[in-house]
Structure formats: C-alpha cells, structure tokens
C-alpha cells in the first residue's frame, strides 16, 4: 500500500508540475483554428488532416506545460515563490522537486514539441518553423532571460497574441494551406479570454509582485481599474462573437453558442471585487480559467457545426 501511495504521489507531483488547469489555454486555440479550417474545406475534396491536428495539439500542450515549468523554475530562482505562495504548481517549494529536474523536463518537452513542429512543417510549409520557434521563444522569455515579459505590462498581450491568435492561425494554415481574414477575426475573442487568464493571475499576485519589482498591468492600474478593464474586455470578447456571427462573411448564428459561457466572467468579476487576499481570490482565478475553457469549447463547437451545415 505504501509503495502504491508513493507511486500515486509521484505521478501527482509531475501532473501538478504541468499546471493542468492552464492546459485548456493550449487546447482551445487548436480546436478553434481547426474548426475554422473546416468552413473553408466544405465542399472541396480536401478533408481535415487528423495527423496534423493531433501533432499540433500535442505540440501546443507540451509548449504550454514547459512554459509553466520555466515559470516555476525562474520564480523559484528569483525568490518569488515560497511556502506562503498560493496558486503555483508547487513542485519545487512544496513537493521538493529539484529545480534542475524541472528545467530539464521543460527542455525535454520543448525538444519533443520541436520534433512535432518539424513533422507539421514537412506536411505543410517549412515557413512554419521560424514561427514555431518564435512562439517557443516567447514561452521561455515570459519568465526567463534578462528581461522577462511577465515583469512588464505586456504579459497579457503576449500571452493572448502568441497563445491565441498565432496558434489559431497555424492550426488553420496546416489544414488549408492559406490564411483567411475570417480566421483572424475568429481568433480575436480567444486572444482576449487567454490574455485575461494572465491578468487574473496578476491581479491576485499584484501586492507581492510589486514588492519584487514587477510592473505588471494590474500593478500600474491598481485593482479597481484592473477589474474595470477585465470586465470591459470580456464584454468586447462577447460583442466580437456577435459581430463575427452576423456581419462577417462565413459567420454563423452557431458561433453564438459561445455566449452560453457568460456566467463565468460575471463570477470572476464579482469574486475579485469581494475579495482582496491571494487565497480568497483563487475562486476568481478559477472562474477566468473556466471562462476560457467553456467559451473556447462552445465557440469551436459552434464554428464546426456551422461548417457542417454550410454557414447558416
């Protein structure tokens, strides 16, 4: 029994190290980009390439997990994470994992993701290699390097653009061989919902981050303005869905399925407003993650249904 418990404990540590609650931020853009590609493949002899979809999904999951590990490693090295911290993976400060092991795992994940990227490029275009390397570099430089992005007010923008728009457009391109303006428009709400996951994390950690010298957007805005910005941007995301559904060529009423996720950003806003300590703001953090998950899956489903039914 003791041996089984130790094995379970070890698996749990490695699972927590990847911060699984963030992984849907990697899954959603691939689903949305692939579903959008289906719209443009409808009526042609081409079909969605399952092997490229799976390879893209795995590569994005590995990059997201590795980025989380880089985050944990560098936050620990810079003294930002300790046993009083909340919301972190905790592999180093709580579970006693070696910092070098965490870094080596992250590098290994990047290597596997790079190999998957080479396969994807060989089946589509080798121009994807520098774009993929750029995305991987941003994942590392978010917390690594001499000037970490996470220490600036640009964290939300970088995470939204590179995890949202870039991944959606790559997933679209590998299926269709081109880029369409509709794919760019469709990516914008996901750019926002992913960026706001990052902002929620920064709202929660703003006091401790300020003491460490960070200058994140919530530190510059303060909590009140940060919440107004968060609420406004969620509103923009939902209005964009409505606009795309009714006013963009290729839009469909089925895109509006994403609107069913609206209770989650409301919960996030209200919970942030009522609480001001990191531990009590964790439910608000969870609500922003759920917003992206449910919004993204419903959005992708609506796009895919519209493709099957011919953009009704």
Look up residue 222 and give its two tokens: 């303060």
Spell out the CATH class of 24-309: mainly alpha
Task: Please give the full DSSP string across 162-211, using - where no structure is assigned.
Answer: IIIIHHHHHHHHHHHSS--HHHHHHHHHHHHHHHHHHHHHHHHTHHHHHH
What is the pLDDT at residue 1? 47
Q: 159 near 28, Cβ under 8 Å? A: no
Calpha distance 72→172 (Å, rounded): 31
Where exactly are the structural domains of the chain? Answer: 24-309
Q: Which of 71, 161, 66 is nearest to 117 (CA)?
A: 66
What is the pLDDT at residue 175? 95
Calpha distance 151→206 (Å, rounded): 11
Q: Which residue has the tokens 């209005």?
A: 239
Strand ranges for the chain from DSSP E: none
Residues of the chain with pLDDT below 50 are: 1, 8
């Amino acid at each position: 029994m003791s041996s089984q418990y130790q094995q379970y404990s070890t698996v749990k540590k490695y699972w927590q190290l990847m911060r699984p609650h963030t992984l849907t931020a990697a899954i959603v853009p691939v689903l949305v980009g692939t579903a959008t590609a289906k719209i443009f493949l409808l009526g042609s002899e081409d079909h969605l390439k399952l092997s490229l979809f799976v390879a893209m999904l795995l590569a994005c999951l590995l990059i997201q997990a590795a980025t989380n590990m880089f985050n944990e490693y560098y936050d620990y090295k810079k003294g930002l994470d300790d046993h009083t911290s909340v919301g972190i993976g905790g592999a180093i400060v709580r579970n006693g994992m070696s910092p070098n092991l965490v870094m080596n795992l992250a590098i290994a994940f990047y290597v596997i993701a790079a190999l998957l990227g080479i396969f994807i490029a060989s089946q589509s275009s080798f121009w994807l290699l520098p774009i993929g390397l750029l995305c991987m570099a941003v994942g590392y430089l978010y917390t690594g390097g001499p000037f970490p992005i996470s220490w600036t007010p640009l964290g939300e923008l970088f995470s939204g653009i590179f995890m949202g728009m870039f991944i959606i457009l790559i997933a679209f391109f590998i299926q269709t061989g081109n880029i369409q303006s509709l794919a760019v428009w469709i990516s914008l709400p996901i750019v926002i919902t992913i960026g706001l996951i990052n902002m929620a994390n920064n709202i929660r950690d703003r006091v401790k981050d300020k003491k460490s010298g960070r200058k994140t957007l919530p530190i510059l805005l303060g909590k009140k303005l940060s919440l107004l910005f968060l609420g406004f941007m969620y509103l923009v995301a939902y209005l964009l869905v409505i606009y795309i559904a009714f006013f963009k060529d290729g839009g469909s009423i089925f895109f509006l399925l994403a609107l069913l996720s609206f209770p989650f950003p409301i919960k996030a806003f209200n919970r942030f407003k009522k609480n001001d300590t990191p531990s009590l703001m964790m439910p608000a953090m969870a609500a922003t993650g759920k917003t992206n998950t449910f919004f993204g899956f419903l959005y992708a489903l609506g796009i895919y249904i519209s493709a099957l039914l011919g953009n009704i």
